[in-house]
Each structure stands twice: as C-alpha cells, then as structure tokens.
Amino acid sequence: MEKIHSIDYMRAVAAFLVVCIHIPFYGEIGSIVIAYGKIAVPFFLVVCGYFCYRTDREEFSKRLKKQIRKIALLTVLANILYLLVDIVLQLIFSSNPIYDIKQLFTSEKWLDFAIYNQSPFADHLWYLGSLLYALIIILLLCRLKLVNYIMFAAPLLLLCYILPLRAGGDMIVWRNCIMVSVPYFMFGCIIRRYQAVFLTRLNKLLIPIIITVLIITNYIEFTIYNSVAPPFISAELLVIAIVLFLLQHPYIGKNTIIEKIGREYSLFIYIFHMSIVALIFRWYASGKICLSFSYIVLLSWYF
C-alpha cells in the first residue's frame, strides 16, 4: 500500500489540537479552537481502524492482536508515569500529601477506571483504555465472524453517545468504549473496506465543499449551545470528511517536519503533554505570558 503522507501530517495537527484543548487560548478564541479540536481524538480512532482493517479475517485478527499488545503496554506505562507525577506533585505542594495520594486509590476511582476507562491519575488517559477495550471487542467480533456486519451499526452507537450528552448526560458514563471508540474504529474499517468506491464516486471538489459546510455548521452548533461541552454532530461528520479528503490527497505534507512529527511523535505528545502541563500550572499558575512561553520551551525540550 502506498504511503499516505497526508494522514501523518494530520496526526500532528490533531496532536496540536489536543494540546490546545488542555491549554486553551484565552477568551472566545480558546472556546472556538476547542469546538474544532473535538475532531482530534475521533480522528485518531478512525485512522487506527483504517490501518488495522483487513478483508482477510485472519490477517485482521493478527493486526488487532499486535495493536492490543502495543496499546496495553502504553496504557500501563502511561498510568505508572502519571501516578509517579501525582505522587511527586503531592509531596512537593500538598499540605497533606499522604491523604491526597490515598485519594488516588479509592474504590470509586478504580471502578470508573475499570468500567469507563477514566484513569485516576490523568483524565486524558481515558483514550488509551477506551481504545484497548475497543480493540478487544473488535477482535472478539472478528473471531465470531460478525465484524463485517456489526460495523454498520457504528452510526447508531455514536448517536447513543451524542444524544444523551446533548441532553445533559454524564460525560464519563456516555464517553465509553462501546459508544465512542468502537464506532469510530468501525468507521475507519468501513472507509478502508469501501475505499475504492468512496474515492471513485466522490468528486474531488465535493469533499472540500462538504468540509467547508461542516466547518460552518460546527460553528453554528457552538453558538447555539454557547458551550463546548456537548458533542457537535458537525464535528463528528467532519472527521469522516477529513479522512476521505486526506485519502484523496495522499501527498499533502510529504517530506515535511510536520509529517515526521505526526508519524513518529503524535501518540507520545498525546500521552506525555499533560505531565508538562501539570508541572507548569503548579509553578507558573500566575502570569499568562510566562505560562505559555514555559510550556513551549519544555515541550520542545521534551521531544
């Protein structure tokens, strides 16, 4: 298969959007960036499904097993890292470090971790646990010879995530692997399975028009809700449109530093950036210019 440079390029953009969500710009600009940054994690999930999927069931199972081992290891190591970061920060800054450290190990937090992938040590690590669960579920469906049928339930599963949250549901409860990671991964599988059909029947001018419309409607949804908390339907559709556009234009970003960052470092930026954020906010909670400058310097040194 020919290398798709544009997807690696977009991986770097998505990693940047994740950072912007966790350290947003100030004012309404920050909220707008978050409204579009919602595409980042779904993009990673769709791309994972796209590259994992194979029409041959045995080959697909092998790729799923390999990915499960990789994500399981990263999940364990990332949680250990943030446990150590939490312990160090509590020992340095807390007036009652022993009590605060014990709060990381309450039964409620570990139940949320087991059921909803909500890490007790860092919120953003839900993505790794959720992806791990999704991969295991997809592998089971693959072995039962059901995956090629159930993948078409992806839109319904995603609606089961979007609609309750738009009605004010609990984010942690509804943002679970079955309602988020599984359907997005399946969308990636569908795109891979029917790629030839999509790319031959969709005019190259049509996808940019769809993307433009969704960018506009995403902003309209943001203004209607006046909040970035609920999922936006436009953002969910925008992910699919962007992936199709990137497949139509595989040479975007070829041989650029951004492509290299996306290919080699995007996942690690996602995992590690919050450790830097935690340190900066502890030491430079005041002084916005100093905060932003310090983050850039430390992030550059880190990678």
Residue 248 and residue 204 in contact, taking contact as beta carbons nearer than 8 Å: yes
Residue 17 and residue 273 in contact, taking contact as beta carbons nearer than 8 Å: no
End-to-end CA distance of the chain: 29
Residue 121 and residue 85 in contact, taking contact as beta carbons nearer than 8 Å: yes
Q: Which amino acid is at 77?
A: L
Distance in angstroms (rounded) separating the CA atoms of residues 98 and 111: 21
pLDDT of residue 282: 66
Domain locations in the chain as residue ranges: 5-265
Distance in angstroms (rounded) separating the CA atoms of residues 17 and 13: 6
Burial label for 93, CB within 10 Å (0-12, 13-18, 19+), is exposed
Distance in angstroms (rounded) separating the CA atoms of residues 272 and 134: 22
* Structure token digits, residue 60: 């697909």
What's the predicted TM-score (pTM) here? 0.89
CA distances to 32, 109, 122, 187 from 22, in Å: 13, 21, 12, 26
Three-class secondary structure of residue 41 per DSSP: helix
Distance in angstroms (rounded) separating the CA atoms of residues 146 and 140: 9
| pLDDT tens track, the chain, 303 positions | 678 999 999 999 999 999 888 887 778 888 999 999 999 999 999 999 999 999 999 999 999 999 999 999 999 999 999 999 889 888 887 788 888 889 889 989 899 889 888 899 998 999 999 999 999 999 999 999 999 999 999 999 998 888 877 666 676 776 778 889 999 999 999 999 999 999 988 888 999 999 999 999 999 999 998 888 788 999 999 999 999 999 999 999 999 999 999 999 999 999 988 887 777 776 655 344 444 445 544 555 455
Distance in angstroms (rounded) separating the CA atoms of residues 255 and 166: 41
> On the CB side of 253, how many CA atoms lie within 13 Å of its CA?
22
Distance in angstroms (rounded) separating the CA atoms of residues 210 and 55: 28
Distance in angstroms (rounded) separating the CA atoms of residues 134 and 217: 30
pLDDT of residue 287: 43
**Which has the closest alpha carbon to 43: 71, 62, 16?**
16
Distance in angstroms (rounded) separating the CA atoms of residues 262 and 269: 9
Tokens 């609609």 map to which residue? 163
Distance in angstroms (rounded) separating the CA atoms of residues 9 and 231: 25
Residue 131 and residue 74 in contact, taking contact as beta carbons nearer than 8 Å: no
pLDDT of residue 104: 87
